[in-house]
Structure 1
């Protein structure tokens, strides 16, 4: 991602150069190797796991087996102006359900 040196708007890649849609400023596009990661930035967004489930647990009754504990996570499945949906995964049978499925 590049930002315009003149107006600060986000630029778009077009035929080997960056082009600002707001003011028309252009500059050559460098190769991916020319970008550096500073100490304040992370080189990767991948989080390594120990193999165990790292999701938080909560009290929730599984509709399949009746177990009273489940892992949960939130996911955006509709448009951005809608709230996220909470999903549960049973700690015993691994049945998966949504919060509004009850």
Structure 2
């Protein structure tokens, strides 16, 4: 990704040039610089559901006061996981200390 030196807008490539969509400023592309750039092309953006089946319940984490949607108990263990893109917030997973029902924060 390249940004315009004149106005700061994102530029697009056109043959051997970077061209600004906003002000039409142009500058030559540099293969050495572009080779060092990081791209998201081909990266897995959806890693799917998180498998918690192999995790021992005692390792899931601290407890908090939250009502279990299954049994109504008011305590659950929780842990935070980054399951979406890095620019999105983490998801909090709960496990009821009474009935071991598992749910995540945005399920209800």
Smaller-chain TM-score bracket: 0.3 to 0.5
More helix by share: 2
- TM-score, normalization by structure 1: 0.48
